[in-house]
Chain A
Protein backbone atom coordinates (compact mmCIF):
# COMPACT_ATOMS: atom_id res chain seq x y z
CA UNK A 1 0.00 0.00 0.00
CA UNK A 2 1.42 3.36 -0.93
CA UNK A 3 0.79 6.69 0.71
CA UNK A 4 -1.87 7.80 -1.76
CA UNK A 5 -3.92 4.65 -1.15
CA UNK A 6 -3.81 5.24 2.58
CA UNK A 7 -5.08 8.77 2.10
CA UNK A 8 -7.92 7.55 -0.10
CA UNK A 9 -8.72 4.89 2.45
CA UNK A 10 -8.95 7.58 5.13
CA UNK A 11 -11.53 9.47 3.07
CA UNK A 12 -13.43 6.22 2.64
CA UNK A 13 -13.60 5.43 6.36
CA UNK A 14 -14.55 8.97 7.37
CA UNK A 15 -17.21 9.19 4.68
CA UNK A 16 -18.68 5.90 5.89
CA UNK A 17 -19.04 7.29 9.39
CA UNK A 18 -20.65 10.47 8.11
CA UNK A 19 -23.02 8.43 5.96
CA UNK A 20 -24.21 6.48 8.98
CA UNK A 21 -24.45 9.55 11.16
CA UNK A 22 -26.28 11.83 8.76
CA UNK A 23 -29.38 9.71 8.33
CA UNK A 24 -29.63 8.19 11.78
CA UNK A 25 -32.75 10.18 12.63
CA UNK A 26 -34.77 9.97 9.45
CA UNK A 27 -38.54 9.51 9.97
CA UNK A 28 -40.25 6.59 8.22
CA UNK A 29 -42.23 8.81 5.85
CA UNK A 30 -38.99 10.04 4.30
CA UNK A 31 -37.48 6.61 3.67
CA UNK A 32 -38.62 6.57 0.05
CA UNK A 33 -37.43 10.07 -0.91
CA UNK A 34 -34.19 9.53 0.98
CA UNK A 35 -33.51 6.30 -0.87
CA UNK A 36 -34.28 8.02 -4.13
CA UNK A 37 -32.13 11.03 -3.23
CA UNK A 38 -29.10 8.96 -2.28
CA UNK A 39 -29.71 6.98 -5.46
CA UNK A 40 -29.19 10.22 -7.38
CA UNK A 41 -26.00 10.98 -5.48
CA UNK A 42 -24.27 7.79 -6.60
CA UNK A 43 -24.85 9.13 -10.07
CA UNK A 44 -21.51 10.87 -9.38
CA UNK A 45 -20.22 7.88 -11.38
CA UNK A 46 -20.90 10.26 -14.28
CA UNK A 47 -17.59 11.91 -13.33
CA UNK A 48 -15.88 8.52 -13.63
CA UNK A 49 -17.68 7.84 -16.90
CA UNK A 50 -16.51 11.16 -18.36
CA UNK A 51 -12.94 10.38 -17.30
CA UNK A 52 -12.93 7.10 -19.26
CA UNK A 53 -14.98 8.43 -22.20
CA UNK A 54 -12.99 11.64 -22.78
CA UNK A 55 -9.98 10.03 -24.44
CA UNK A 56 -11.71 7.03 -25.99
CA UNK A 57 -10.03 5.89 -29.20
CA UNK A 58 -10.64 2.25 -30.01
CA UNK A 59 -14.18 1.18 -30.97
CA UNK A 60 -14.41 -0.80 -27.74
CA UNK A 61 -13.47 2.22 -25.64
CA UNK A 62 -15.96 4.34 -27.54
CA UNK A 63 -18.79 1.89 -26.93
CA UNK A 64 -17.95 1.44 -23.25
CA UNK A 65 -17.50 5.17 -22.70
CA UNK A 66 -20.71 6.08 -24.47
CA UNK A 67 -22.79 3.55 -22.54
CA UNK A 68 -21.22 4.59 -19.23
CA UNK A 69 -21.92 8.29 -19.82
CA UNK A 70 -25.44 7.58 -21.07
CA UNK A 71 -26.41 5.35 -18.14
CA UNK A 72 -24.74 7.53 -15.52
CA UNK A 73 -26.55 10.62 -16.84
CA UNK A 74 -29.87 8.78 -16.65
CA UNK A 75 -29.04 7.90 -13.05
CA UNK A 76 -28.17 11.47 -12.05
CA UNK A 77 -30.85 13.37 -13.91
CA UNK A 78 -33.67 10.89 -13.39
CA UNK A 79 -32.71 10.42 -9.75
CA UNK A 80 -32.85 14.08 -8.83
CA UNK A 81 -36.00 14.81 -10.84
CA UNK A 82 -37.92 11.85 -9.45
CA UNK A 83 -36.91 12.75 -5.90
CA UNK A 84 -37.99 16.33 -6.42
CA UNK A 85 -41.36 15.15 -7.70
CA UNK A 86 -41.89 13.10 -4.57
CA UNK A 87 -40.85 15.92 -2.27
CA UNK A 88 -42.88 18.51 -4.14
CA UNK A 89 -45.95 16.71 -2.84
CA UNK A 90 -44.80 16.89 0.73
CA UNK A 91 -44.30 20.57 0.23
CA UNK A 92 -47.73 21.55 -1.10
CA UNK A 93 -49.53 20.72 2.10
CA UNK A 94 -47.02 22.47 4.37
CA UNK A 95 -48.16 26.10 3.96
CA UNK A 96 -50.54 27.17 6.72
CA UNK A 97 -53.30 28.30 4.35
CA UNK A 98 -54.47 24.81 3.47
CA UNK A 99 -54.76 23.62 6.99
CA UNK A 100 -57.20 26.32 7.96
CA UNK A 101 -59.54 25.58 5.09
CA UNK A 102 -60.06 21.95 5.99
CA UNK A 103 -61.92 22.19 9.24
Chain B
Protein backbone atom coordinates (compact mmCIF):
# COMPACT_ATOMS: atom_id res chain seq x y z
CA UNK B 1 0.00 0.00 0.00
CA UNK B 2 2.75 2.41 0.92
CA UNK B 3 4.62 1.58 -2.25
CA UNK B 4 1.48 2.01 -4.34
CA UNK B 5 0.88 5.37 -2.69
CA UNK B 6 4.38 6.56 -3.43
CA UNK B 7 4.11 5.42 -7.05
CA UNK B 8 0.78 7.13 -7.56
CA UNK B 9 2.09 10.35 -6.03
CA UNK B 10 5.10 10.04 -8.32
CA UNK B 11 2.80 9.66 -11.33
CA UNK B 12 0.76 12.67 -10.20
CA UNK B 13 3.96 14.71 -9.82
CA UNK B 14 5.09 13.77 -13.32
CA UNK B 15 1.70 14.88 -14.62
CA UNK B 16 2.07 18.22 -12.81
CA UNK B 17 5.50 18.76 -14.34
CA UNK B 18 4.27 17.85 -17.83
CA UNK B 19 1.23 20.05 -17.30
CA UNK B 20 3.38 23.05 -16.42
CA UNK B 21 5.64 22.38 -19.37
CA UNK B 22 2.69 22.18 -21.76
CA UNK B 23 1.23 25.32 -20.21
CA UNK B 24 4.23 27.31 -21.32
CA UNK B 25 3.52 26.84 -25.02
CA UNK B 26 0.39 28.31 -26.69
CA UNK B 27 -0.27 25.22 -28.79
CA UNK B 28 -0.37 22.74 -25.95
CA UNK B 29 -1.43 24.97 -23.07
CA UNK B 30 -4.97 23.71 -22.76
CA UNK B 31 -3.86 20.09 -22.71
CA UNK B 32 -1.31 21.02 -20.07
CA UNK B 33 -4.05 22.25 -17.78
CA UNK B 34 -5.98 19.01 -18.21
CA UNK B 35 -2.92 16.87 -17.66
CA UNK B 36 -2.29 18.64 -14.37
CA UNK B 37 -5.96 18.24 -13.45
CA UNK B 38 -5.76 14.48 -14.08
CA UNK B 39 -2.71 14.34 -11.80
CA UNK B 40 -4.70 16.15 -9.15
CA UNK B 41 -7.71 13.82 -9.37
CA UNK B 42 -5.36 10.84 -9.16
CA UNK B 43 -3.58 12.14 -6.06
CA UNK B 44 -6.78 13.13 -4.27
CA UNK B 45 -8.69 9.95 -5.17
CA UNK B 46 -5.86 7.72 -4.02
CA UNK B 47 -5.56 9.65 -0.76
CA UNK B 48 -9.22 8.89 -0.08
CA UNK B 49 -8.59 5.20 -0.84
CA UNK B 50 -5.67 5.14 1.60
CA UNK B 51 -7.69 6.91 4.27
CA UNK B 52 -10.82 4.79 3.84
CA UNK B 53 -10.32 2.84 7.06
CA UNK B 54 -9.47 5.77 9.29
CA UNK B 55 -12.37 8.12 8.60
CA UNK B 56 -14.39 9.11 11.65
CA UNK B 57 -18.08 9.78 11.10
CA UNK B 58 -17.49 13.51 11.49
CA UNK B 59 -14.52 13.16 9.15
CA UNK B 60 -16.65 11.64 6.40
CA UNK B 61 -19.28 14.34 6.78
CA UNK B 62 -16.88 17.28 6.68
CA UNK B 63 -14.88 15.86 3.78
CA UNK B 64 -17.97 15.21 1.66
CA UNK B 65 -19.55 18.55 2.56
CA UNK B 66 -16.32 20.44 2.05
CA UNK B 67 -15.64 18.92 -1.35
CA UNK B 68 -19.23 19.36 -2.52
CA UNK B 69 -19.66 22.94 -1.39
CA UNK B 70 -16.12 23.96 -2.37
CA UNK B 71 -16.49 22.29 -5.74
CA UNK B 72 -19.79 23.96 -6.55
CA UNK B 73 -18.59 27.39 -5.40
CA UNK B 74 -15.36 26.92 -7.36
CA UNK B 75 -17.04 25.86 -10.61
CA UNK B 76 -19.81 28.44 -10.46
CA UNK B 77 -17.55 31.38 -9.68
CA UNK B 78 -14.93 30.31 -12.22
CA UNK B 79 -17.62 29.84 -14.91
CA UNK B 80 -19.49 33.07 -14.29
CA UNK B 81 -16.64 35.51 -13.66
CA UNK B 82 -16.21 38.07 -16.43
CA UNK B 83 -13.00 37.80 -18.38
CA UNK B 84 -12.06 41.28 -17.19
CA UNK B 85 -12.27 40.18 -13.58
CA UNK B 86 -10.00 37.16 -14.12
CA UNK B 87 -7.01 38.55 -12.19
CA UNK B 88 -8.96 39.07 -8.98
CA UNK B 89 -10.51 35.62 -9.36
CA UNK B 90 -7.03 34.10 -9.49
CA UNK B 91 -6.14 36.16 -6.40
CA UNK B 92 -9.10 34.71 -4.51
CA UNK B 93 -8.35 31.11 -5.49
CA UNK B 94 -4.75 31.66 -4.46
CA UNK B 95 -5.84 33.17 -1.17
CA UNK B 96 -8.11 30.28 -0.21
CA UNK B 97 -5.32 27.84 -1.07
CA UNK B 98 -3.04 29.75 1.28
CA UNK B 99 -5.69 29.69 3.97
CA UNK B 100 -6.09 25.91 3.57
CA UNK B 101 -2.33 25.44 3.94
CA UNK B 102 -2.34 27.65 7.04
CA UNK B 103 -5.21 25.61 8.53
CA UNK B 104 -3.42 22.32 7.88
CA UNK B 105 -0.32 23.76 9.55
CA UNK B 106 -2.40 25.12 12.42
CA UNK B 107 -4.01 21.78 13.10
CA UNK B 108 -0.55 20.21 13.16
CA UNK B 109 0.69 22.80 15.63
CA UNK B 110 -2.36 22.45 17.86
CA UNK B 111 -1.64 18.74 18.17
CA UNK B 112 1.83 19.59 19.40
CA UNK B 113 0.65 22.50 21.55
CA UNK B 114 1.63 22.61 25.18
CA UNK B 115 4.14 19.80 24.87
CA UNK B 116 7.02 21.93 23.66
CA UNK B 117 7.09 20.67 20.12
CA UNK B 118 10.24 18.92 19.30
CA UNK B 119 12.29 21.51 17.49
CA UNK B 120 12.45 19.88 14.07
CA UNK B 121 8.96 18.47 13.80
CA UNK B 122 7.37 21.88 14.41
CA UNK B 123 9.33 23.84 11.80
CA UNK B 124 7.34 22.88 8.69
CA UNK B 125 3.99 23.61 10.33
CA UNK B 126 5.18 26.99 11.57
CA UNK B 127 6.43 27.79 8.09
CA UNK B 128 3.14 26.70 6.51
CA UNK B 129 1.10 28.80 8.93
CA UNK B 130 3.20 31.93 8.37
CA UNK B 131 3.31 31.67 4.57
CA UNK B 132 -0.30 30.57 4.25
CA UNK B 133 -1.53 33.49 6.35
CA UNK B 134 0.56 36.05 4.47
CA UNK B 135 -0.69 34.65 1.18
CA UNK B 136 -4.31 34.66 2.31
CA UNK B 137 -4.32 38.19 3.71
CA UNK B 138 -2.24 39.56 0.84
CA UNK B 139 -4.50 37.98 -1.77
CA UNK B 140 -7.57 39.52 -0.17
CA UNK B 141 -6.00 42.99 -0.35
CA UNK B 142 -4.98 42.33 -3.96
CA UNK B 143 -8.56 41.30 -4.71
CA UNK B 144 -9.99 44.43 -3.06
CA UNK B 145 -7.61 46.64 -5.04
CA UNK B 146 -8.31 44.98 -8.39
CA UNK B 147 -12.05 44.90 -7.79
CA UNK B 148 -11.73 48.61 -6.95
CA UNK B 149 -13.43 48.06 -3.62
CA UNK B 150 -10.53 49.99 -2.19
CA UNK B 151 -8.22 52.53 -3.74
CA UNK B 152 -5.69 51.21 -6.21
CA UNK B 153 -3.13 53.82 -5.23
CA UNK B 154 -0.46 52.73 -2.77
CA UNK B 155 -1.41 53.29 0.85
CA UNK B 156 1.69 54.40 2.68
CA UNK B 157 2.37 56.03 6.01
CA UNK B 158 5.60 57.30 7.47
CA UNK B 159 7.83 54.40 8.36
CA UNK B 160 5.70 51.69 6.73
CA UNK B 161 8.81 49.83 5.68
CA UNK B 162 10.11 49.95 9.25
CA UNK B 163 6.80 48.58 10.54
CA UNK B 164 6.91 45.73 8.02
CA UNK B 165 10.52 44.97 8.95
CA UNK B 166 9.63 44.91 12.64
CA UNK B 167 6.67 42.61 11.92
CA UNK B 168 8.98 40.18 10.13
CA UNK B 169 11.40 40.20 13.09
CA UNK B 170 8.55 39.77 15.55
CA UNK B 171 7.18 36.81 13.59
CA UNK B 172 10.60 35.16 13.49
CA UNK B 173 11.04 35.75 17.22
CA UNK B 174 7.61 34.26 17.98
CA UNK B 175 8.39 31.28 15.77
CA UNK B 176 11.53 30.61 17.79
CA UNK B 177 9.65 31.01 21.07
CA UNK B 178 6.99 28.62 19.82
CA UNK B 179 9.47 26.00 18.75
CA UNK B 180 11.98 25.97 21.57
CA UNK B 181 10.50 27.73 24.60
CA UNK B 182 6.76 27.58 24.89
CA UNK B 183 4.42 25.95 22.40
CA UNK B 184 1.24 27.33 23.98
CA UNK B 185 -1.93 28.02 22.08
CA UNK B 186 -1.60 31.74 22.85
CA UNK B 187 1.74 31.90 21.05
CA UNK B 188 0.35 29.97 18.08
CA UNK B 189 -2.58 32.36 17.76
CA UNK B 190 -0.32 35.42 18.06
CA UNK B 191 1.88 34.05 15.30
CA UNK B 192 -1.17 33.49 13.10
CA UNK B 193 -2.45 37.02 13.74
CA UNK B 194 0.92 38.67 13.09
CA UNK B 195 1.42 36.81 9.80
CA UNK B 196 -2.07 37.88 8.77
CA UNK B 197 -1.28 41.52 9.57
CA UNK B 198 2.02 41.32 7.68
CA UNK B 199 0.15 40.05 4.61
CA UNK B 200 -2.04 43.14 4.73
CA UNK B 201 0.66 45.72 5.45
CA UNK B 202 2.93 44.16 2.84
CA UNK B 203 0.43 44.57 -0.01
CA UNK B 204 -1.19 47.89 1.02
CA UNK B 205 1.73 50.08 -0.16
CA UNK B 206 1.83 48.41 -3.57
CA UNK B 207 -0.08 50.07 -6.39
CA UNK B 208 -2.98 48.43 -8.21
CA UNK B 209 -1.01 48.25 -11.45
CA UNK B 210 1.49 45.94 -9.79
CA UNK B 211 -1.08 43.55 -8.33
CA UNK B 212 -0.46 40.85 -10.98
CA UNK B 213 3.17 40.65 -9.90
CA UNK B 214 2.08 40.51 -6.27
CA UNK B 215 -0.43 37.74 -6.99
CA UNK B 216 2.28 35.76 -8.73
CA UNK B 217 4.56 36.18 -5.73
CA UNK B 218 1.79 35.20 -3.30
CA UNK B 219 1.12 32.22 -5.55
CA UNK B 220 4.71 31.13 -5.04
CA UNK B 221 4.27 31.82 -1.33
CA UNK B 222 1.27 29.48 -1.13
CA UNK B 223 3.26 26.89 -3.07
CA UNK B 224 6.00 26.97 -0.45
CA UNK B 225 3.43 26.78 2.36
CA UNK B 226 2.03 23.65 0.70
CA UNK B 227 5.52 22.19 0.35
CA UNK B 228 6.10 22.86 4.06
CA UNK B 229 2.87 21.00 4.87
CA UNK B 230 4.30 18.17 2.83
CA UNK B 231 7.29 18.03 5.17
CA UNK B 232 5.01 18.06 8.20
CA UNK B 233 2.74 15.32 6.84
CA UNK B 234 5.59 13.36 5.29
CA UNK B 235 3.83 13.57 1.94
CA UNK B 236 5.73 13.37 -1.34
CA UNK B 237 2.95 14.82 -3.55
CA UNK B 238 2.57 17.95 -1.43
CA UNK B 239 6.30 18.59 -1.40
CA UNK B 240 6.80 18.19 -5.14
CA UNK B 241 3.67 20.06 -6.27
CA UNK B 242 4.15 22.85 -3.72
CA UNK B 243 7.80 23.30 -4.58
CA UNK B 244 7.08 23.30 -8.32
CA UNK B 245 4.65 26.16 -7.83
CA UNK B 246 7.02 27.92 -5.45
CA UNK B 247 9.88 27.79 -7.93
CA UNK B 248 7.95 28.48 -11.13
CA UNK B 249 5.96 31.23 -9.39
CA UNK B 250 9.14 32.94 -8.25
CA UNK B 251 10.56 32.84 -11.75
CA UNK B 252 7.27 34.03 -13.23
CA UNK B 253 7.25 36.94 -10.78
CA UNK B 254 10.64 37.99 -12.08
CA UNK B 255 9.58 37.61 -15.70
CA UNK B 256 6.54 39.77 -15.07
CA UNK B 257 8.63 42.52 -13.49
CA UNK B 258 11.02 42.27 -16.43
CA UNK B 259 8.10 42.76 -18.82
CA UNK B 260 7.48 46.07 -17.08
CA UNK B 261 11.14 46.98 -17.16
CA UNK B 262 11.42 47.10 -13.39
CA UNK B 263 13.12 45.12 -10.69
CA UNK B 264 11.16 43.00 -8.23
CA UNK B 265 12.34 45.15 -5.32
CA UNK B 266 11.10 48.24 -7.12
CA UNK B 267 7.70 46.63 -7.64
CA UNK B 268 7.37 45.41 -4.07
CA UNK B 269 8.87 48.28 -2.13
CA UNK B 270 8.73 51.25 -4.53
CA UNK B 271 5.15 52.30 -3.62
CA UNK B 272 4.87 52.71 -7.38
CA UNK B 273 1.97 54.75 -8.66
CA UNK B 274 1.46 57.32 -5.96
CA UNK B 275 -0.05 60.40 -7.56
CA UNK B 276 2.88 62.73 -7.68
CA UNK B 277 3.63 66.22 -8.89
CA UNK B 278 7.09 66.10 -10.36
CA UNK B 279 8.59 69.32 -11.65
CA UNK B 280 10.35 67.97 -14.72
CA UNK B 281 7.14 66.36 -15.85
CA UNK B 282 4.70 69.13 -15.09
CA UNK B 283 6.42 72.00 -16.85
CA UNK B 284 6.24 70.49 -20.31
CA UNK B 285 2.70 69.36 -19.90
CA UNK B 286 0.83 72.08 -18.09
CA UNK B 287 0.99 74.78 -20.77
CA UNK B 288 -0.59 72.88 -23.63
CA UNK B 289 -4.21 72.29 -24.31
CA UNK B 290 -5.95 69.13 -25.27
CA UNK B 291 -7.50 68.74 -28.70
CA UNK B 292 -10.73 66.88 -28.40
CA UNK B 293 -12.52 65.73 -31.51
CA UNK B 294 -15.89 64.38 -32.54
CA UNK B 295 -16.59 60.81 -33.55
CA UNK B 296 -17.24 62.05 -37.11
CA UNK B 297 -13.78 63.65 -37.38
CA UNK B 298 -12.08 60.54 -36.10
CA UNK B 299 -14.25 58.25 -38.21
CA UNK B 300 -13.27 60.11 -41.37
CA UNK B 301 -9.62 60.07 -40.40
CA UNK B 302 -9.73 56.31 -39.88
CA UNK B 303 -11.74 55.58 -43.02
CA UNK B 304 -9.21 57.30 -45.24
CA UNK B 305 -6.07 55.92 -43.62
CA UNK B 306 -3.94 53.25 -45.16
CA UNK B 307 -2.73 51.67 -41.95
CA UNK B 308 -4.10 51.77 -38.43
CA UNK B 309 -2.48 50.29 -35.36
CA UNK B 310 -4.84 49.71 -32.45
CA UNK B 311 -3.46 49.90 -28.92
CA UNK B 312 -5.98 48.29 -26.58
CA UNK B 313 -5.81 48.84 -22.83
CA UNK B 314 -7.70 48.07 -19.69
CA UNK B 315 -10.31 50.78 -20.40
CA UNK B 316 -11.43 48.71 -23.38
CA UNK B 317 -11.85 45.68 -21.17
CA UNK B 318 -13.80 47.54 -18.49
CA UNK B 319 -16.18 48.94 -21.08
CA UNK B 320 -16.54 45.43 -22.59
CA UNK B 321 -15.75 47.09 -25.92
CA UNK B 322 -13.75 44.31 -27.52
CA UNK B 323 -16.61 43.25 -29.80
CA UNK B 324 -17.27 46.83 -30.93
CA UNK B 325 -13.55 47.20 -31.59
CA UNK B 326 -13.57 44.06 -33.69
CA UNK B 327 -16.51 45.44 -35.67
CA UNK B 328 -14.67 48.69 -36.32
CA UNK B 329 -11.54 46.81 -37.38
CA UNK B 330 -13.54 44.58 -39.76
CA UNK B 331 -15.21 47.60 -41.28
CA UNK B 332 -11.88 49.31 -41.86
CA UNK B 333 -10.36 46.18 -43.34
CA UNK B 334 -13.23 45.90 -45.78
CA UNK B 335 -12.33 49.40 -46.95
CA UNK B 336 -8.77 48.26 -47.52
CA UNK B 337 -7.25 49.72 -44.38
CA UNK B 338 -4.51 47.61 -42.87
CA UNK B 339 -5.34 46.95 -39.21
CA UNK B 340 -3.03 45.59 -36.56
CA UNK B 341 -3.17 45.37 -32.80
CA UNK B 342 -0.18 46.33 -30.69
CA UNK B 343 -0.24 44.41 -27.44
CA UNK B 344 1.89 45.69 -24.62
CA UNK B 345 3.14 42.85 -22.40
CA UNK B 346 1.25 44.24 -19.42
CA UNK B 347 -1.80 45.57 -21.26
CA UNK B 348 -4.90 44.96 -19.19
CA UNK B 349 -4.36 43.98 -15.63
CA UNK B 350 -2.10 40.98 -16.11
CA UNK B 351 0.46 39.97 -18.70
CA UNK B 352 -1.38 38.22 -21.49
CA UNK B 353 -4.73 39.47 -20.23
CA UNK B 354 -5.41 41.54 -23.35
CA UNK B 355 -4.73 38.61 -25.66
CA UNK B 356 -7.38 36.64 -23.84
CA UNK B 357 -9.91 39.46 -24.08
CA UNK B 358 -9.33 40.00 -27.80
CA UNK B 359 -9.38 36.28 -28.47
CA UNK B 360 -12.81 36.28 -26.81
CA UNK B 361 -13.98 38.74 -29.48
CA UNK B 362 -12.52 36.47 -32.19
CA UNK B 363 -9.82 38.90 -33.24
CA UNK B 364 -7.56 36.90 -35.57
CA UNK B 365 -4.43 35.74 -33.81
CA UNK B 366 -2.03 36.94 -36.47
CA UNK B 367 -3.22 40.55 -36.15
CA UNK B 368 -2.07 40.65 -32.54
CA UNK B 369 1.48 41.91 -32.51
CA UNK B 370 3.77 41.87 -29.53
CA UNK B 371 5.57 45.04 -28.59
CA UNK B 372 9.00 44.26 -30.04
CA UNK B 373 7.45 43.06 -33.23
CA UNK B 374 5.43 46.19 -33.96
CA UNK B 375 7.28 49.09 -32.37
CA UNK B 376 9.14 49.98 -35.56
CA UNK B 377 5.93 49.98 -37.59
CA UNK B 378 4.34 52.93 -35.78
CA UNK B 379 6.46 55.34 -37.82
CA UNK B 380 4.71 54.17 -40.99
CA UNK B 381 1.24 54.04 -39.47
CA UNK B 382 -1.28 56.73 -40.34
CA UNK B 383 -3.18 56.39 -37.11
CA UNK B 384 -2.41 54.93 -33.72
CA UNK B 385 -5.83 54.27 -32.21
CA UNK B 386 -5.43 54.03 -28.46
CA UNK B 387 -8.46 52.53 -26.74
CA UNK B 388 -8.46 52.83 -22.98
CA UNK B 389 -4.70 52.53 -22.63
CA UNK B 390 -2.52 55.12 -20.99
CA UNK B 391 0.69 54.25 -19.16
CA UNK B 392 1.85 51.81 -21.85
CA UNK B 393 2.06 54.66 -24.39
CA UNK B 394 3.36 57.36 -22.04
CA UNK B 395 6.52 58.86 -23.58
CA UNK B 396 7.62 59.82 -20.06
CA UNK B 397 8.87 56.25 -19.78
CA UNK B 398 11.41 57.12 -22.47
CA UNK B 399 12.31 60.75 -21.82
CA UNK B 400 11.48 61.78 -18.25
CA UNK B 401 14.16 60.31 -15.99
CA UNK B 402 12.35 61.68 -12.93
CA UNK B 403 9.18 59.81 -13.72
CA UNK B 404 8.11 56.71 -11.87
CA UNK B 405 7.64 54.74 -15.05
CA UNK B 406 10.96 55.84 -16.58
CA UNK B 407 12.61 52.82 -18.15
CA UNK B 408 9.43 50.83 -18.68
CA UNK B 409 9.29 49.61 -22.29
CA UNK B 410 6.41 51.35 -24.05
CA UNK B 411 4.64 51.17 -27.40
CA UNK B 412 5.87 53.90 -29.76
CA UNK B 413 2.35 55.14 -30.49
CA UNK B 414 3.63 58.73 -30.34
CA UNK B 415 5.57 58.12 -33.56
CA UNK B 416 2.47 57.54 -35.67
CA UNK B 417 1.32 60.34 -37.98
CA UNK B 418 -1.88 60.77 -36.04
CA UNK B 419 -2.78 59.63 -32.57
CA UNK B 420 -6.38 59.06 -31.55
CA UNK B 421 -7.06 58.41 -27.89
CA UNK B 422 -10.37 57.00 -26.71
CA UNK B 423 -10.61 57.67 -23.02
CA UNK B 424 -13.20 58.30 -20.36
CA UNK B 425 -11.57 61.41 -18.91
CA UNK B 426 -8.23 63.08 -18.41
CA UNK B 427 -7.65 61.02 -15.29
CA UNK B 428 -4.14 59.62 -15.02
CA UNK B 429 -3.66 55.89 -15.62
CA UNK B 430 -3.11 53.18 -13.08
CA UNK B 431 0.45 54.35 -12.48
CA UNK B 432 -0.95 57.77 -11.50
CA UNK B 433 1.20 59.76 -13.91
CA UNK B 434 0.17 62.48 -16.34
CA UNK B 435 0.65 61.63 -20.01
CA UNK B 436 2.16 64.27 -22.31
CA UNK B 437 0.93 62.37 -25.34
CA UNK B 438 -2.56 63.72 -24.55
CA UNK B 439 -1.26 67.23 -25.18
CA UNK B 440 0.64 66.48 -28.38
CA UNK B 441 -0.50 68.49 -31.41
CA UNK B 442 -1.00 65.29 -33.43
CA UNK B 443 -3.29 63.82 -30.83
CA UNK B 444 -7.07 63.86 -30.95
CA UNK B 445 -8.91 62.90 -27.79
CA UNK B 446 -12.33 61.28 -28.06
CA UNK B 447 -13.84 61.29 -24.60
CA UNK B 448 -16.43 58.80 -23.45
CA UNK B 449 -17.03 55.17 -22.61
CA UNK B 450 -14.85 53.04 -24.93
CA UNK B 451 -17.72 50.86 -26.10
CA UNK B 452 -19.99 53.81 -26.92
CA UNK B 453 -17.19 55.72 -28.63
CA UNK B 454 -16.36 52.68 -30.75
CA UNK B 455 -20.01 52.27 -31.74
CA UNK B 456 -20.08 55.93 -32.81
CA UNK B 457 -16.91 55.41 -34.80
CA UNK B 458 -18.42 52.41 -36.56
CA UNK B 459 -21.39 54.56 -37.57
CA UNK B 460 -19.09 57.39 -38.67
CA UNK B 461 -16.89 55.11 -40.79
CA UNK B 462 -19.97 53.60 -42.45
CA UNK B 463 -21.14 56.96 -43.80
CA UNK B 464 -17.77 58.33 -44.86
Contact = CB atoms under 8 A, between A and B. Distances in A.
Of the four ranges (under 10, 10 to 19, 20 to 34, 35 or more), the interface on chain A belongs to 35 or more
A83 B67 CA distance: 20
A24 B251 contact: yes
B248 A39 contact: no
Interface in B317-363: 333, 343, 345, 350-353, 355-356, 359-360, 362-363
Contacts of A43: 40, 93, 97
Contact of B33 (A61, A68, A71, A83): A83
Contact of B30 (A68, A78, A88, A99): A88
B100 interface: yes
Interface in A48-81: 48-57, 60-62, 64-81
A41 B241 contact: yes
A36 to B, nearest CB: 5
B65 A32 contact: no
A29 B33 CA distance: 16
A72 B219 contact: no
Given A37-B32, A38-B223, A90 B26 contact: yes
Interface string B235-270: 111111111111111111001100100000000000
Contacts of A76: 40, 44, 74
Contacts of B234: 4, 8
A44 B226 contact: yes
B259 A92 contact: no
B70 A64 contact: no
B153 interface: no
Interface string B104-148: 101110100000000010000000000000000000000000000
Contact of B365 (A4, A40, A81, A94): A94
Contact of A23 (B40, B223, B248): B248
A69 B229 contact: no
A35 to B, nearest CB: 5
B86 A86 contact: yes
A19 B243 contact: yes
A79 B215 CA distance: 14
Contact of B104 (A34, A49, A54, A77): A49
B238 A71 contact: no
A55 B56 contact: yes
A23 B219 CA distance: 15
Contacts of A3: none
B55 to A, nearest CB: 5
A16 B32 CA distance: 19
Nearest to B56: A55
Contacts of B248: 19-20, 22-23, 34, 38
5 contacts: A45-B242, A48-B235, A52-B104, A73-B71, A81-B78
Interface of B: 13, 16-17, 19-21, 23-27, 29-30, 32-34, 36-37, 40, 43-44, 47-48, 51, 54-56, 58-59, 62-63, 65-67, 69-71, 73-75, 77-79, 81, 83, 86-87, 89-90, 92-94, 96-97, 99-101, 103-104, 106-108, 110, 120, 212, 215-216, 219, 222-223, 225-227, 229-231, 233-252, 255-256, 259, 333, 343, 345, 350-353, 355-356, 359-360, 362-367, 370
Interface of A: 1, 4-5, 8, 11-12, 15-20, 22-57, 60-62, 64-94, 98-99, 102
